[in-house]
Amino acid sequence: MSIPKHIAIIMDGNGRWAKKRLLPRVAGHARGVKRVKEIIEHCSHIGVKYLTLFAFGRENWKRPQTEVSFLMNLLLEQLDKEFLHLHEEDVKIRFIGDRSRLDKIICEKIEVIEKLTNANKKLNLNVAVDYSGSYDIIQAINTVLAEGKHKNITREVLEKYLLTYPNPAPDLFIRTSGEIRISNFMLWQIAYTELYFTSKLWPDFNKQALDDAIKWFQTRERRYGKISEQLE
């Protein structure tokens, strides 16, 4: 059975996981980070080549300042710890999104990690921070226009300016926590992606839950707009 080449995940439900346990929301984020490590390692082990994680959306800046500060400090902590460990596991790491609002020290560490892991080949990990699908499309269009190299913006041209390029489009999209929406994530890239929604909250989404999602994916007939052979 085929393993998805590229999996994209919205890691939702950290706050609700904490609330159910009468804990502060930040406790859910801290627990969610541990699950991130497990899922990355499992993807690498089973042969997934590309993994994109929605870590912090552009709309997330509207959350309480205490929570935003905690998330930024958590990211900084992981840059000093877990991302260096992933380098030892031959994982190539890229951060996609707008870096203009991130602290200078975070940007500097991101650049170090990206340069350090650039030649790694086992798994390509994209971490979406201050990212949205609409932002990605708009920045791509603006970049094409600013360069002035193309008379017409075709699909092939635009895709080369998306932040995920040259990664292929996701085969499988997963959203945890029971929410059934895309939330402005990879709007262009998931046009023909299989969408999987689970009620599990992100801190409870373990490698068995990922395997269940992949088993569901393996039952899908991917037609890309074509008529099913079963209906012909």
Residue 130 among the catalytic residues: no
**Residue 155 backbone zone (phi > 0: left; psi -120 to 50: alpha; other: beta):** alpha
Contacts 24+ apart (CB under 8 A), 38-41: 38/206, 38/207, 39/9, 39/205, 39/207, 39/210, 40/86, 40/91, 40/123, 40/125, 41/89
Our answer to whether residue 184 is catalytic in this structure is no
Question: d(Cα 135, Cα 59) in Å, to the nearest integer?
Answer: 11
Concatenated DSSP letters of 136-198: HHHHHHHHHHHHT--SS--HHHHHTTSTTTTSPPPSEEEE-TT--S-TTSSTTTTTTPEEEE-
* Cα separation, 63 vs 56, whole angstroms: 11
| Active-site residue identified among 14, 60, 120, 130 | 60
Active site residues per annotation: 12, 60
